[in-house]
Amino acid sequence: MKLLKTTIARVVGDFAEVDLGDMRLRRRAQAVVAKLARCPSASLPAALGSDAAVQGCYRLVNNRSVTFEKLLAGHIEATRKRALQAGRVLVVHDTTECSFPDLPADEIGYLQSGKAGFLLHPSLVLDGGAWRRPLGVIYAETLHRTEHSKRGRRSKASGIQTAKWKDRESQRWWRGMKASGEALSGCEEVIHVADREGDSYELLANLLAASQRFVIRVRADRRGRRADNPEAEWSTIKTVASTCQGCMERDVPLSRRAAKATARMTGAHLPRKARLARLRFAATRVVIPRPRYLADPVPPQLELNLVHVTEVNPPPNEPAVEWLLYTTQEIATATDVAAVVDAYRARWTIEEFNSGLKTGCAYEDREFESRHALLAMLALSLPVACEVLALRSHARSTPTAPATEVLSVQQLHLLGALSQGNLSARPTAGEALLAVAALGGHLPRNGPPGWKILQRGMTLLLAAETGWNAARSVPRRATKL
């Protein structure tokens, strides 16, 4: 897939005001990101086009004055401006692993597996409209573990002790939401969205104190009770939710979820088949008390809105959908409750973003040996990943758009030949997307194609284009062998 010229210009423009101390470095950064945007999933030599350009890229990312923070600053400012123009936005927060198993872990950092890699915690801004178009990354930080595992001394510490640690990894959630909220303070509405990892009493208290809006999925079945009955005995959040009366039902498509390699990786996300699920929504207001391991100035209790989502008559042998969501959003009407659920469903966009970064933009395939160089390349890749995600979302949400919005004319001709005539004379973006996926081995019965399938198909298409261009450049006079 290619990015349109206007899109490439927008990505390059995000780096126009980057202060690297030397205008030549800024120009080099813009040149590199422009070429990466043209062929996001290609290898560096293929994307940059020449040995001189590759060497220039290596010099750029290894330059000590070219840091992750400096490179990303321009994109963050451009994202802020786009968010102000949109007015109403969602900010989706998540943590993902960036794995580099062939690199030295003592330089890059340790993942839980013991292999080299680090944690990336981005905050992705989405337009609050129906399309949820990605507007850019408003905050990002990386966490590099210096040890293989944190088991041992720290794992034996009590909750009271761990709450006092200033270097807790969990603090990244508050840092991301605090920085995002401050940067987007001029927007009409900002709603933070997070999955189970964001369910922290301390984080919820901080967000309420800062008057930040949020939708966060419940992880801990902590004590709680309905806010409209202060004399009631303390129960649990799930018990309180089970007493709520449903206010509406809706059919929601659920995507297929494959099984993970290990039970630990699967966690709470069990494998499932794609299906159309009938979901029932209910809501109430709850009070939750402060955990025993926390103390003042953390407030002794919090009052929040709670939305409960359950699946009606799930298929046999399939895990039923159940979501519990803490939120500051209104729940007075069925429309209000549905809006909360829709906001949470947008969280899956950042999963797609993470996959787009690592697969659609081939970030984990970049062969740099230092942490500094990898982080510099990460800063160059994040804006491209946003646009690649937006492009695929556009092809899915507007499948009847011309295929030239996704691929070049030459690529479409080659794709038609490689797909053995299965591409129509005037292909649409949706057709082109499926044809590229078919090259990668995608079968229509498996649902929408994923990033890995698309990357595999694009790799074959780009290889065919390279061979075609090379053949056209050969002199017409045959070379004697």
In a domain, 417, yes or no: yes
The pLDDT of 275-302, averaged and rounded, is: 93
In order of 253, 274, 279, 280, the CA distances from 315 in angstroms are 14, 11, 13, 15
- 241-260 pLDDT per residue, tens: 999 988 899 988 877 777 66
Q: Which residues contact 77 (CB under 8 A, 6 or more apart)?
A: 17
**Hey, CA dihedral for 92, 95, 96, 99, is it positive or negative?**
positive
The torsion angles phi and psi of 406, rounded to 5 degrees, stand at: -115, -40
Paired tokens of 212: 């930040």
Q: What is the mean pLDDT of the chain?
A: 87
Res 286 pLDDT > 80: yes
CB of 93 closer than 8 Å to CB of 123? yes
In a domain, 461, yes or no: yes
Paired tokens of 70: 């400096």
- Tell me how many domains the chain contains: 1
**What string of DSSP letters covers 322-381?**
EEEEEESS--SSHHHHHHHHHHHHTTHHHHHHHHIIIIIS-GGG----SHHHHHHHHHHH
Place of tokens 């004590």: 223
Res 102 pLDDT > 50: yes
The CA distance from 122 to 172, in Å, is: 10
pLDDT score at 152: 43
- 383-401 pLDDT per residue, tens: 989 888 887 776 777 778 8
In a domain, 242, yes or no: no
Interhelix angle 23-38/371-397, rounded to 10 degrees, is 40
The answer to whether the peptide bond before residue 271 is cis (omega within 30 degrees of 0) is no
Q: How confident is the model at residue 159 (pLDDT cuts 50, 70, 90)?
A: low
Amino acid at 382: L
Number of Cβ atoms within 10 Å of the Cβ of 181: 22
In a domain, 444, yes or no: yes
The CA distance from 15 to 77, in Å, is: 10
- 210-241 pLDDT per residue, tens: 999 999 999 999 999 999 888 889 999 999 99
In a domain, 414, yes or no: yes
In a domain, 51, yes or no: no
In order of 151, 172, 251, the CA distances from 169 in angstroms are 14, 6, 38
CB of 180 closer than 8 Å to CB of 192? yes
**C-alpha torsion angle, residues 59, 62, 68, 72 (rounded to 10):** 0
- 104-151 pLDDT per residue, tens: 999 999 999 899 999 999 999 999 987 788 999 999 999 999 987 654
pLDDT score at 468: 83
Tell me the CATH number at 444.
Answer: 1.10.740.10
Among 363, 356, 439, which residue's Cα sits nearest to residue 44?
A: 363
- By residue range, what is the domain housing residue 413? 398-472
In a domain, 418, yes or no: yes
Among 77, 80, 157, 169, which residue's Cα sits nearest to residue 125?
A: 80
**289 by DSSP, 3-state: which?**
strand
In a domain, 351, yes or no: no
More confident residue, 481 or 144: 144
Give the predicted TM-score (pTM) of the model. 0.85
